[in-house]
Amino acid sequence: MSDNIVKALDPRGLFNDVLRAPLAPRLDTLDGKTVYIINSWGGDTHGFGEVQKALDAYLRGRFSGVKIEYRTRKMYSSDEPALWAEMKENADCFVYFGAPSCSTTACAVTWPARKIERAGIPGLTVLYRYLEKDALISREREGMQIRFAETDFPCTGMSDGEMRRLLEDIVDALLRPLTPEEQIGGVYTPTQPSRFCAEGTEDELQEYFQSNGLTDGLPVIIPTEERVAEMLKGTSHAPDEIVATQMAPEGRIVTVEKAAITAVMAGAKPEYFPVILAMVEIMGTDQRHHQTAKSTNAFSFMQVVNGPIRKEIGMNDSVCALGPGGRANAVIGRAHRLALINLGGSEVGVNLMGVMGNVSTYTFAFAENEESSPWEPYSTSQGFKEGESVLSILTGGWSHIGNYMLNPSLDDFYKSIKTFEMLHGISILISPLRAKELFEETGCKTRKEIEDYFWNKLLITEGELKGRRIYARPKADPSAGPVTDDTVMHIFDRSQIHVIVVGDPQGSNVVQGWSQYSPQSTSIDKWR
């Protein structure tokens, strides 16, 4: 590389103002008080069952007339107005239990800060110590000094002394008077990143970006002012225009110029930039992505491009479309991960804690092979017209099933889908040859018809579901009579069946099932 000294623009997203609020006043005693114990997850999958049992006995033994109410969140990441209203009416204090999960731990800070402490109910969050940094980020973002009690993971089999200390920490957090810091209110404006983050040779800046956690682990194109200016030629939008106000995972502000810095770092050409702007728009406007972008499960995001821009920028929809070799696919996929890191604040070991990680989080973007599909483009199912350039982002899985070339009936495919741990939805990726075969065999002439066909093939019985720990289970039709072990129901909600044609038209009759669902789509054309 050159020994010339250059300056790199700072790739990090901008911070929103923080509306700070004091904690609710602490109680003098728990005698005669009602304590709400809130579980983030159902069952004991959070691992805190022993602690809650010990806490129940400890509170009843230490305080006179204490009443304990247990509640389990319907979905840890969603608002639950009925629960907050009930607590405001009945709760004197709360103990909110997190989970061995990044996203759940963050929510175990978010909801107490937004809905419980602000309603005047004092409490704390119980969390696993290895996720403390994630909780601290959420606490800073929410502007409230939510109190924590921490333990190691797993917490089963704690010694009597360790358990005693944890229970005392919980009670102390409920009763200890507030400190001055915990009573601060008003608006706080965080220090924003500088326009330039560093200067040096290209080699030195590569090391700077790597050592400061500003890359995905691979070398980047250094975002000099000149390179970013060239990238900005790929859009008619002004550099200071705001693309997103709540970029996942930490809710930061992204301007067009900040997105251009990410595009440069990923190796994009200016003609790719409208797709990357569309990606930032989606990732910065949907709160669902804040939780899935940080997880011990390491969820991934699948980007699907439809419309004329596929050919204009040379996206691969054919041979090895999901693999290496296509610059546009690789760069657009990589830009997504770099955007989460720099624009949104994702950091390995802090709020990105995938136990194993997920290779599809590096780059997972491709174009649908519209020319080889017997059905309308996927984007039409998302409300767009044929001929529009559209980006769709689906979220979910960390694995796939396939390829089923030797299983013409696809019976094994349907059986395998039942093994998905989280039955939220599926993206069925079909090669052109298999799409042609299905078109002829099933008589399905439209996208709706082929998706209905798969929906009616993907069935499961009540007996097969018993004992499985899944977040959202299918619902039997109550009009069909009593539910028994033999009751048959659809595995997925109809809206979460997604059929996409991709791959080599001369290749085999491949089909893959990816645990990818809940699409959000937007126009790429508006970002040109």
Contact, 405 vs 437, CB < 8 A? no
Closest CA to 97 of 75, 127, 133, 59: 127
Percent residues over pLDDT 90 in the chain: 78
What's the pLDDT tens digit per position in 96-121? 999 998 889 999 999 999 999 999 99
Find the mean pLDDT for residues 26-39: 97
CA–CA dist 295, 293 (Å, integer):
7
pLDDT on residue 386: 96
CA–CA dist 311, 56 (Å, integer):
63
CA–CA dist 425, 519 (Å, integer):
10
CA–CA dist 460, 457 (Å, integer):
9
Contact, 262 vs 222, CB < 8 A? no
pLDDT on residue 480: 67
What's the pLDDT tens digit per position in 281-314? 999 987 778 778 888 888 899 999 999 999 999 9
Which position has the token pair 């290779």? 359
Find the mean pLDDT for residues 21-46: 90
Check residues 352 and 224 and name the one with the higher pLDDT.
224
CA–CA dist 322, 408 (Å, integer):
23
Check residues 469 and 152 and name the one with the higher pLDDT.
152
Q: pTM of the prediction? A: 0.93
CA–CA dist 457, 125 (Å, integer):
44
Instruction: Provide the pLDDT confidence category of residue 484 given band limits of 50, 70 and 90.
Output: confident
Instruction: Provide the pLDDT confidence category of residue 406 given band limits of 50, 70 and 90.
Output: confident
CA–CA dist 252, 118 (Å, integer):
23
Name, in order, each residue with C-beta under 8 angstroms of 215's C-beta and a sequence gap of 6 or more.
Answer: 209, 265, 338, 341
Instruction: Show the domains of the chain with their CATH numbers.
Output: 18-186 (3.40.50.2300), 196-527 (no CATH)
Give the single-character DSSP code of 320. Answer: T
Q: Is the pLDDT of residue 472 over 70?
A: no
Q: What is the rounded average pLDDT for all residues in the chain? A: 93
Which position has the token pair 């789509």? 521
Amino acid in the structure at residue 229: A
Give the single-character DSSP code of 128. Answer: E
CA–CA dist 313, 273 (Å, integer):
10
Contact, 296 vs 237, CB < 8 A? no
Q: Which helix (H) or strand (E) holds 338?
A: helix 327-338
Q: Is the pLDDT of residue 478 over 80?
A: no
CA–CA dist 85, 470 (Å, integer):
27
Q: Is the pLDDT of residue 145 over 70?
A: yes
Which position has the token pair 């080599």? 504
Termini Cα distance of the chain? 33
CA–CA dist 418, 313 (Å, integer):
38
Check residues 291 and 59 and name the one with the higher pLDDT.
59
Contact, 33 vs 63, CB < 8 A? yes
Which residues on neighbouring strands pair with residue 303, listed in sequence order? 365, 393
Which position has the token pair 């008003």? 186
pLDDT on residue 236: 98
Contact, 359 vs 333, CB < 8 A? no
pLDDT on residue 43: 62
Q: Is the pLDDT of residue 452 over 80?
A: yes
Find the mean pLDDT for residues 118-125: 98
CA–CA dist 391, 396 (Å, integer):
17
CA–CA dist 304, 302 (Å, integer):
7
CA–CA dist 120, 26 (Å, integer):
10
pLDDT on residue 467: 62
Find the mean pLDDT for residues 245-256: 95
Closest CA to 296 of 231, 260, 243, 349: 349
Find the mean pLDDT for residues 437-466: 93
Contact, 226 vs 14, CB < 8 A? no
CA–CA dist 14, 240 (Å, integer):
12
> Helix 256-266 and helix 327-338: axis angle, to 10°?
130
Q: Is the pLDDT of residue 470 over 80?
A: no
Closest CA to 12 of 140, 193, 205, 211: 193
Determine the 3-state secondary structure of 397 from DSSP.
Answer: strand
What's the pLDDT tens digit per position in 191-208? 999 999 999 999 999 999
Largest CA distance in the chain: 77
Long-range Cβ contacts of 211-214 (<8 Å, 24+ apart): 213/341, 213/347, 213/348, 214/11, 214/12, 214/341, 214/342
Instruction: Provide the pLDDT confidence category of residue 53 given band limits of 50, 70 and 90.
Output: very high
CA–CA dist 204, 368 (Å, integer):
40
Determine the 3-state secondary structure of 77 from DSSP.
Answer: coil
Name, in order, each residue with C-beta under 8 angstroms of 522's C-beta and a sequence gap of 6 or more.
Answer: 278, 281, 282, 390, 391
Find the mean pLDDT for residues 508-515: 94
Q: Between the CA of residue 24 and those of 17, 38, 121, 124, 487, what are the distances in Å?
A: 22, 17, 6, 11, 49
Q: Is the pLDDT of residue 476 over 80?
A: no
Which position has the token pair 């720990």? 469
- Torsion sign (Cα): 14, 19, 25, 31: negative
What's the pLDDT tens digit per position in 208-220? 999 999 999 999 9
